[in-house]
Amino acid sequence: MDYEILYKCEAEQNIKCYVCKANLKDYIASLKPDFYEFEVQRGIVRNSYLDTLRQTISNKEPIPPISLTVSGEPVIDNQILKVKDENSDILDGLQRTFRLWVYNYINNIVKSKNILTFSELVSELKSDDIGTRIIDFYFINAKFLKDFLPIGICAANIQSFIDGWENYNLIFYIWYGLDDKQVVRKMLELNAGQKPVTSTHQYELLYLHFFNNEKIQIPEGMQLIRVRDPYFFSIRRGRNKLGQFLLSSVIIAYQSFIKRKPLRVQTANEVRVDDDNDDDIQNFFNPDNLNSFLKYMYIADSILCNQDTKHLAWYGKDTTLSGIYAALGQYMYENGNELEWDKLDYILNNKVKKMHFNVDQFEEAYNRLSSIKTNVGYAVRKAIYKFTLNALQSHPVSWYECLINKDSEL
């Protein structure tokens, strides 16, 4: 797509930003099929304010600029920036773009298929994956769809609205030269003041480049679930399949293992895009170490969850994983085996395999905690760490001692 350059900003580290102008019709036509799947974005979210977007554009009122990140080098011809559509992704403006794209998509379906009734339109949308996904979004209801049918004044208004895109210009901030971390930083910066990106999503973004490395091998049977995945919240409430882990939980487990203390996902306003600059994190999150950790995390899952069904949901929780892996890291450190993966293999098969976490007893002690007087999350992480470490050291303690005894320290 061609963008008219209004002016250019050039920063350090060979980062360039072009402030450009282009019409809405060309922009929507340029979108690649999976434009809404850019991995650093939160995905399509509920936002009732977008219901007024059609009226805003029809009134010729401006909407906020859209920010894009583009890979490769800029190509400029007589103040026209030529962007390969497949090389661009949306940093800011995804929700607005998606809503407008839906108008265009449904309108094209109605016209090309000569659809006359609501049932025909729903049937046609359900006949392909894109249409099925569109129907799943909250704002797509019967009233919304019926407005596109060629009966009455609404369809004419929508067609007039879309026809007017050719004469409606948008402002774009088009970025070149951003690396993976800078893309995340820029996206979070642009979203500041809006509905915040969750702390879980931020953790994913900060460490995603480690997992996207082509050398990473996810063990067969292991599944890493992201916030964007439709079943994220059901897994978060309690997984029902061995090998299922939230990606953020894996990150926290590995960090706890490295640091030898149970960590948690920080609240959203505490997360910083440079949190992974720590030398230990950079060294340990290389493909060889990360592959080994994923392998043994799945082995541990198999060992524990074969004991009884209660371990399945319990072992998949952040608090459980951070406590267990902090204890494993500490035990290996005490025995001079820090990050010797064959030693972890031995510990899992000769120590952990003989342990039983007695989830029923854990729940009984847990129910005696007072959330008013106790930071429950901290208390649970601390208790699981202590229970696991003592068992590894052949000095088992009860869950009551770990959860209720106020003198227990890490």
Choice among 68-77, 201-210, 344-353, 395-404 with the minimum mean pLDDT: 201-210
pLDDT at res. 173: 95
The pLDDT score that the predictor gives to residue 45 is 65
Which whole number is the average pLDDT over 24-43?
A: 81
Percent of the chain with pLDDT over 90: 31
Task: Give helix 287-305 / helix 247-259 axis angle, nearest 10°.
Answer: 100
Average pLDDT on 325-337 reads 89
**Distance between CA 207 and CA 251 in Å, rounded?**
8
> How many helices, marked H, and strands, marked E, lie in the chain?
19, 9
pLDDT at 269 over 50: no
Distance CA 19, CA 173 (A): 5
Coil, helix or strand at residue 76: strand
Tens of pLDDT, residue by residue over 165-177, are: 999 999 999 999 9
Residues 247 and 276: their CA atoms lie apart, in Å, by 16
Residue 62: predicted pLDDT:
92
Summarize the chain as % helix, strand, coil (round to 5).
55, 10, 35
Q: The whole model's pTM is what?
A: 0.64
Q: With cut-offs at 50, 70 and 90, classify the pLDDT of residue 226.
A: confident
The secondary structure of 4-31 as a DSSP string is EEEEEEE-STT-EEEEEEEEHHHHHHH-
Q: What average pLDDT does the segment 60-77 reach? A: 92
Residue 328 confidence class, pLDDT cut points 50, 70, 90: very high
Give me the helix-helix angle, 118-125 and 94-112, nearest 10°. Answer: 120
Q: Lowest mean pLDDT: which of 85-89, 197-201, 393-397?
A: 197-201
Residue 143 has pLDDT above 70, yes or no: yes
Q: Is 314 helix (H, G, I), strand (E, B) or coil?
A: helix
What is the pLDDT at residue 169?
A: 95
pLDDT confidence tier of residue 66, bands split at 50, 70 and 90 = very high
Give the tens place of pLDDT for each residue, 339-384: 788 888 889 888 888 888 888 889 888 887 765 566 788 889 999 9
Spell out the domain ranges in the chain. Answer: 2-176, 196-404
**What's the pLDDT score for residue 268?**
41
Name which of 160-164, 178-182, 268-272, 393-397 the model is least confident about.
268-272
DSSP 8-class letter at 385: H
For 184, the token pair is 């995340």
Residue 410 — pLDDT band, cuts 50, 70, 90? very low
Tell me what the pLDDT averaged over the chain comes to.
83
Alpha carbon of 2 to those of 88, 334, 400: distances in Å? 12, 61, 67
- The type of residue at 183 is V
Q: What is the pLDDT of residue 187?
A: 78
Q: Which two tokens stand for residue 169?
A: 């210009």
- Which of these ranges, 32-41, 180-189, 376-385, has the smallest mean pLDDT? 32-41
Which residue do the tokens 């049937």 mark? 123
